[in-house]
Amino acid sequence: MYRPLVRRLSGTRDLDQREILSLKAVQDTLYKLLRLHGYRIVDTPLLEHIDLFLRKSGGQLATRLYTFTNPGGHRVSLRPEFTSSIIRQYLQAKDTEPLPLRRQYAGPVFRFQSVEEGGQRQFTQVGAELIGASEAWADVEVLSIACHGLSAFGLSHHRIIMGHIGILEELLDQFNLSKRAKLFLIGNVSSLKNGPGGEKEVRRRGEELGLFRNQTDERSEEPLYSIGEESAQKIVQSLLKEVVATPLGSRTPDEILSRFLHKIQGSDAPAQVEKALRFLRQLANVEGDPYVALAMAKDLARDYKLNQACFNGLEDILTALAHHSLKDTDFSIDFGLVRDIAYYTGLVFEILPPKSYGQASLGGGGRYDSLIKALGSTEDVPALGFAYHLERVLEVVESKEKRTPLSEQKIHQVLLVAADYNAYKAAISLAQKLRNGGTVVHLETSSRNLEESLAYAAHNHLDKVIVVNTRGQSHEYAAEVGAKDVTYSPSQ
């Protein structure tokens, strides 16, 4: 009876041999697929300096890090994902290879999950990064590999849901919002998909940050938010002249002016934030067939008198996708899709199993063109990638049509027993000969009698027990308690 690999428990757990071999079988298949596409395998340390993951990961991932101070006094974290480490590796060896670079990886990652969330705190990622390619063809290469990886296991109608962070940012730019307001709205897109209650919660969070004017606030917004830089300078300079005799503490007049202008320029007109929120709520709920969803999003942008050029990149991706044979995959667009890592700048996507297997994500990825500069490069370098959640992939693969688990490919296994102490040399010689032929040999070391050996072999699903005497002759017994001698042959 097949037992699901991914149990609905939080935390980490032990794996038995069947589970390990099954994971390895899936991993090997994906490795070969990525290798055929030119992706070279690399590895990175489990421990990295915490700054590597904090610079562009975003608050949500930052709260899930396993972080501590090592004996050398440095703050380090268990890796929560591979991408940042792969980019660090690229930067350390920069200019040694021409772009684009194709890299693949596999290994455990660690993210804190509460008991209520029911997720795994340690799981295995298998993924790839394509560094130095900005064209739509690069996005589609990564998308197609993600699809072919599942098709290799006979899965059909698995799903790819695409979103685009770059489109959201470019559209919100046209509302003349501060960077802070844009990041807030994009970071709360998922909540806007939850109907009126979700919008109300986003507005409440925004009020706490001062982005929305509280309904009880009767202050007029126009004089404050319509003021220009030149006018602001005159006002502050005038105020400073009036209070020049007043102690200013440790700050100079120029510092006070700079601080005031920063606050003015960093503020957002509540009416514009409200308008942007209404637009984003509508856009976040546009999803479905790629071409239908794209047309709906463009119509919505037109209604708000927004420039639609930002959709061109996504149109190019859809055009390039049509050149790939991806009939096993159901594609859709969800403009409310944002992943839980903040470094994405363009296409993002989620990999889901066929609908009959539920909604648990099998992985995902996207484009992160600003990450490399954020981690130390002097310039932006285009890049994108994706990763599978290996345990979830295996769960779907093994439960497909109740197929035999991948690890249970037939391998001949025997228990080899020396009849007495003097027969060990002959037993060891026969064991080596059998292993050279591909047979798995368990050498008896516990002085069990034949009945006990047969019970042990049956419990461990071995095929038979072979008893060897000092002359090298062997008796073979079927691996079940009480079985009779089935063959007798001298060792060859």
Flag whether pLDDT at 436 surpasses 80: yes
- Residue 446 has a CB neighbour count (10 Å cut-off) of 8
This prediction has a pTM of: 0.78
Kindly indicate the confidence band of residue 239, based on its pLDDT and cuts at 50, 70 and 90. low
Percent of the chain with pLDDT over 70: 79
C-alpha to C-alpha distance for 3 and 130, rounded to whole angstroms: 36
Flag whether pLDDT at 259 surpasses 70: no
What average pLDDT does range 451-478 have in this prediction?
A: 90
What average pLDDT does range 32-50 have in this prediction?
A: 94
Q: Which of 25-29, 55-59, 339-343 has the lowest mean pLDDT?
A: 55-59
Q: What is the pLDDT of residues 356-406, one digit of tens each?
A: 888 889 999 999 999 999 998 999 999 999 999 999 999 998 887 555 555
Q: Which of 79-88, 98-107, 185-194 has the lowest mean pLDDT?
A: 185-194
The burial class, CB within 10 Å (0-12 / 13-18 / 19+), for 249 is exposed
- Biggest CA pair distance of the chain: 112
308, 302 in Cβ contact below 8 A? Answer: yes
Chain-centre distance for alpha carbon 54: 16
Residue 409's pLDDT is what?
A: 57
Residue 130's pLDDT is what?
A: 96
Q: Enter the tokens of residue 157.
A: 């109608």
What average pLDDT does range 304-333 have in this prediction?
A: 94
C-alpha to C-alpha distance for 181 and 187, rounded to whole angstroms: 10
Integer angstrom CA distances of residue 161 from 80, 147, 210, 420, 426: 23, 12, 34, 65, 61
Flag whether pLDDT at 257 surpasses 70: no
Kindly indicate the confidence band of residue 2, based on its pLDDT and cuts at 50, 70 and 90. very low
Question: Which domains are assigned to the chain?
Answer: 17-174+310-402 (3.30.930.10), 410-490 (3.40.50.800)
Kindly indicate the confidence band of residue 235, based on its pLDDT and cuts at 50, 70 and 90. low
Highest-pLDDT range among 194-208, 290-304, 321-335: 290-304
Kindly indicate the confidence band of residue 215, based on its pLDDT and cuts at 50, 70 and 90. very low
C-alpha to C-alpha distance for 49 and 58, rounded to whole angstroms: 16
Angle at the Cα of 116 (from 400 to 206), degrees rounded to 5? Answer: 110
Q: Which of 209-213, 218-222, 342-346 has the lowest mean pLDDT?
A: 218-222
Mean pLDDT of the chain: 83
What average pLDDT does range 204-223 have in this prediction?
A: 63
